[in-house]
Amino acid sequence: MILLTDISRVFHMGDQGVRALDGVDLEIDTGEYVSIMGPSGSGKSTLLNVIGLLDQPDGGRYELDGKDVTDLSEIEKARVRREKIGFVFQSFHLVPRLTAAENIELPLILEGIPPAERKSRVDEALRGFNLQDRAAHRPSELSGGQRQRVAIARATILRPTALLADEPTGNLDHRIGAEVMVLLEGLHEAGTTLIVVTHDRELGARAQRHIAMLDGKIVSDERQGKFPGGNSLA
């Protein structure tokens, strides 16, 4: 369970301070499927970064699965990320020098899992994401959809409780994007909390819960409803 209380984050641009998050309160239950939407600069990515322990809030409190993770050390944050959170990015962020299989294997190595188990889990993931024949290919030799599947396989190989996706289909065409969403939703159905940040209203509408942000604040939070004020969004 994710519980954010009065979270704020200020960026300093030159002499000015920009409030990327301004007193955000948010509770996301385990197994929820949430979309976060809003215009550029609304703070949705910053919110995702805070939830993913990539960014440190300037104020407020963050509890993950009942534990206060607001002020964890770098080492503890790395451990929590490894164990509980998976990331899927718009630009995939695969390690270019490693093959598809090696990219998927990376979190297992960092977790210190023995080679034999690593191999079986990677093989399983490759099968699960239909990447068997792409295992030995480098990211540059894969199509966009394949890259994102590798990224998702990598994000989920340690079976995180929450999967954070930042514009997961932003770099993909419509058809491939839809395929990727089906994959992610499959993972949600299997019990993973799925949080998707997107510009795409159609994509956002697929979630069970829709959060809209503007100027660092949550301006609406609806479950299974239509996105309000959609006309104002680009």
CB of 146 to another protein, least distance (A): 18
The region of 24-32, 76-84, 123-131, 199-207 touching another protein under the rule CB under 8 A is: 76-84
What is the DSSP track for 50-105?
Answer: HHTTSS--SEEEEEETTEE-TT--HHHHHHHHHHHEEEE-TT----TTS-HHHHHH
175 is a contact residue toward another protein (CB under 8 A) = no
Cα gap 163→194, rounded to integer Å? 5
Listed residue (65, 78, 44, 23) closest to 195, CA to CA: 44
Strand pairing of 209-214 and 33-37? parallel
- Judged on CB neighbours under 10 Å (0-12, 13-18, 19+), 114 is exposed
| HSE-CB for 72 with a 13 A CA cutoff | 20
How far apart are the C-alpha atoms of 50 and 33, rounded to whole Å?
A: 18
* Cα–Cα dist 10/97, whole Å: 35
How many residues of this chain interact with another protein, rule: CB under 8 A?
34
State which of residues 115, 191, 225, 228 lies at the interface with another protein (CB under 8 A): 115
* Closer CB to another protein, 52 or 204, in the complex: 52
- Check the CA dihedral 187-193-198-200 and report its sign: positive
Residue reference for tokens 């996105």: 227
CB 72 → another protein: shortest distance, Å? 12
CB of 116 vs another protein, minimal distance in Å: 12
| Shortest distance (Å) from residue 224 CB to another protein | 29
Q: What minimum distance in Å lies between the beta carbon of 10 and another protein? A: 15
Task: Compute and round to an integer the Cα radius of gyration of the chain.
Answer: 18
- Min CB(74)–another protein separation in Å: 6
Q: Is 136 in the site for another protein (CB under 8 A)?
A: no
Pick 45 or 146: Cβ nearer another protein:
45
Position 93 contacts another protein (CB under 8 A): yes
Shortest gap between Cβ of 217 and another protein (angstroms)?
20
Residue whose tokens read 């514009």:
167
- Does position 15 interact with another protein (CB under 8 A)? The reply is no
Stretch that binds another protein, among 60-68, 94-102, 129-137, 206-214 (CB under 8 A): 94-102
Q: Return the residues of window 22-51 that contact another protein according to CB under 8 A.
A: 45, 48-49
Enumerate binding residues for another protein (CB under 8 A). Answer: 45, 48-49, 52-55, 74-75, 78-83, 87, 89, 93-98, 102, 106-107, 109-112, 115, 154, 158, 166
